[in-house]
Amino acid sequence: MTQSLRLGIALEGNGPVSDLVEEARKAEAAGFDVVLVPDHLGNASPLVSLTAIGAAVPTVQLSPMVLNAAFYSPALIARDLAAVDSATDGRLIIAFGAGYVEAEFDAAGIPFPSPAQRVSIVGNTLREVRRLLSDPDHNPTPRQLPPPILVAGAGNKLLTLAAREADIVGIASRGDETDLAERVAFVKHAAGQRFDDIELQFGFFQTSLDDPRDLSVARLLGIDAPDAEIGKLPTVLNGSIDAAIERIQRFRDDLGITYFSFLKTDATSWDTFGSLVKALREAA
């Protein structure tokens, strides 16, 4: 199945919801397809934020990046996801991850499961949410029956689950381009005959097109390497717009990735993002 280019912008989510709405308006003006908000304690509630954004910004798709499946009862999160999809005229992309910040589990009073248990929780949640939201009699009824589901991860177990059951596979990689290509090949093998029916997503967690020296997000992610080496990582865009376009086109043509997301920080202005999006559309 041929996928069109999908571009998303992940907002940091650490301010009031009104600020997120204003940032989402700027994202829409810059030409982004999807606005994403995080699911971390200390940030605004992702589904409340997405509902407010959906009411104020009528053209973008909406997605959490990503829901920590272990925090939620499948039936309860299905109810809330259905309400968001209904309230936003069917613009929701559901997204689940396994959760990785043990301190957040402690703060929430939730036991921190083992890695294998967290993967199992993602699978159970995905299947139950899909079952519930495929039912036209589910109340509330989503506009999409069901909304598409993304599962994001880096490890073999989570990527196997995503390849076999998700509509969109989010591939996380902190390695070099060889590692990213190997992750894509792994997903392709795990997906088998359904590979042509899934969409591949990749996120640039450090986008520093205006200030290439800013590698703060990469450092927060625990990437311990010289600056020159960090700048070569697939998940880091800290060069020129032309270099960013070349990398994105290469990932699309060589790896089949069609959904790209970028983290919005002060290291890249909205004007620069707008120029990048426009150039990518023209190149496509």
Instruction: Tell me the average pLDDT across 75-87.
Output: 98
Mean pLDDT taken over the chain: 95
The count of structural domains within the chain is 1
Tens of pLDDT, residue by residue over 259-270, are 999 999 999 999
Q: Give me the CATH number covering residue 156.
A: 3.20.20.30
Enclosing domain of residue 79: 4-281
d(CA 140, CA 242): 46
Tens of pLDDT, residue by residue over 19-43, are 999 999 999 999 999 999 999 999 9
**Residue 31: how many CB atoms within 10 A of its CB?**
18
pLDDT band at 221 (very low <50, low <70, confident <90, very high): confident
In a 13 Å sphere around the CA of 223, the CA atoms on its Cβ side amount to 24
Tens of pLDDT, residue by residue over 101-137, are 999 999 999 999 999 999 999 999 999 999 999 999 9
Q: What is the CA radius of gyration of the chain?
A: 18
Tens of pLDDT, residue by residue over 88-109, are 999 999 999 999 999 999 999 9
pLDDT above 90 for 209: yes
- Report pLDDT for 225: 77
